[in-house]
Amino acid sequence: MKVNVGLIGKGKWGKNIEKKLKVLANLKFVYGRKNNLKKDIKKNNIEWIFVATPNNTHYKIVKKCIQSNVNVFCEKPLCLTYEK
């Protein structure tokens, strides 16, 4: 049974990951920039979010996903400062 996943990032890596996710999982959405992530996580019963965005956006996106009780796969680095 395939899991419901979402992808954030439409750039070079996002496109590569999207191809694989379409085969391996139920890809419910692919986001570029601004979207209502928390609402769509609940609406689509998302179990995993894949983050393939610019490095400076990882922390904020991953934090929202974790607060929504969703598993996260994030391209490295997870954050840019030790404090985060």
- pTM as predicted: 0.87
Q: What is the mean pLDDT of residues 20-49?
A: 89
pLDDT of residue 34: 67
Percent of the chain with pLDDT over 70: 99
Is residue 50 within 8 Å of residue 73, measured between CB atoms? yes
How does pLDDT run across 37-47, given as a tens digit for each residue?
A: 888 888 999 99
Residues 6+ apart with CB under 8 A from 11: 52, 53
Q: What is the mean pLDDT of residues 9-35?
A: 91
How does pLDDT run across 59-68, given as a tens digit for each residue?
A: 999 998 999 9
Which is more confidently placed, 73 or 75?
73
Burial (0-12, 13-18, 19+ Cβ within 10 Å), 73? middle
Taking 90 as the threshold, does the pLDDT of residue 69 lie above it? yes
